């Protein structure tokens, strides 16, 4: 049982390049989330999914797209990376919504956009 | 807009000391409040979850309290150990947005041996 895994662990992009971050969970969780963490600002929700085939916007969705084609995977895409997207990205999943129970977090992806 | 504030931003204590971390939030209409631990370069680990109807939760040397009316929570760590050194984050789930956690910026704790 690997829990929540994220790929890649670290990536450097040039402004304008695109990339996809992969989150995978093996706990059969319905809910999945993408957060970004910036110094002094805590974690902020980018997008989330309440089940396979569904996605919804969070607090800071601009510049990102997501897809949940399979229940165990949640992909975060950056179509045209900007320096403001330099951050640490965390994926999380849960069996129930946050109102009812805890979330399980992946180890993070550190992204640097030059 | 809900704001979550954690005080202090950083704390350094000698091993064995009891300590308190503080979390305050502006909107009292919450489902629950959660405390997480984050080790350097790692993800978050859930420590305690307090539902809005509860006053406190305990796990080992950790005790978290919730005063929803005043918008405050405290995390009490008894007999601190060097292994407790980490960043501690609190987060609330708003009634208005049941699928969203709103995080504070965290308290960086260092326990010196």
pLDDT score at B98: 66
Q: Do B99 and A50 touch (CB under 8 A)?
A: yes
Q: Any idea how long chain B is? A: 113
pLDDT score at A102: 84
Split at pLDDT 50, 70, 90, the class of A39 is confident
Q: By the CB < 8 Å criterion, does B93 face chain A?
A: yes
Please say if the pLDDT value at position B5 is more than 80: yes
Q: Out of B41, B99, B106, whose CB is closest to A42?
A: B106
Mean pLDDT across chain A, nearest whole number?
94
pLDDT score at B47: 96
Q: By the CB < 8 Å criterion, does B40 face chain A?
A: no
Split at pLDDT 50, 70, 90, the class of A78 is very high
pLDDT score at B2: 79
Q: Any idea how long chain A is? A: 114
Report d(CA A103, CA A95) in Å as an integer. 8
Contacts of B105 in chain A (CB under 8 A): 40-42
pLDDT digits (tens, 9 = 90+) for B44-55: 999 999 999 999
- In chain A, the residue whose alpha carbon lies closest to the alpha carbon of B10 is A40
With DSSP H G I counted as helix, E B as strand and the rest as coil, what are the percentages for chain B, rounded to 5?
Answer: 5, 60, 40
Average pLDDT of the segment spanning B75-79: 97
Please say if the pLDDT value at position A105 is more than 70: yes
pLDDT score at A63: 97
């Amino acid at each position: 049982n690997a829990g929540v895994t994220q790929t890649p662990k670290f990536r450097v992009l040039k402004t304008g390049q695109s990339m996809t971050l992969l989150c995978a969970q093996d706990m059969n969780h319905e809910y999945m989330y993408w957060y970004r963490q910036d110094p002094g600002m805590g974690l902020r929700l980018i997008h989330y999914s309440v089940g396979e085939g569904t996605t919804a916007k969070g607090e800071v969705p601009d510049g990102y797209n997501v897809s949940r084609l399979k229940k165990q995977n949640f992909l975060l895409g950056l179509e045209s990376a900007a320096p403001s997207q330099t951050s640490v990205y965390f994926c999380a999943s849960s069996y129930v919504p946050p109102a009812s129970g805890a979330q399980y977090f992946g180890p993070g992806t550190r992204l640097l956009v030059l | 807009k809900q704001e979550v504030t954690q005080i202090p931003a950083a704390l350094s204590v000698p091993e064995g000391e009891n300590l308190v971390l503080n979390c305050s939030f502006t909107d009292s209409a919450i489902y629950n409040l959660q405390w997480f631990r984050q080790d350097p370069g790692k993800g978050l680990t859930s420590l305690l979850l307090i539902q809005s109807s509860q006053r406190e939760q305990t796990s080992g040397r950790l005790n978290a309290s919730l005063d929803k009316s005043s918008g405050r929570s405290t995390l009490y760590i008894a007999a601190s150990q060097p292994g407790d050194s980490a960043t501690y984050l609190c987060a609330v789930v708003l009634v208005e947005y049941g699928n969203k956690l709103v995080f504070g910026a965290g308290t960086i704790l260092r326990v010196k041996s």
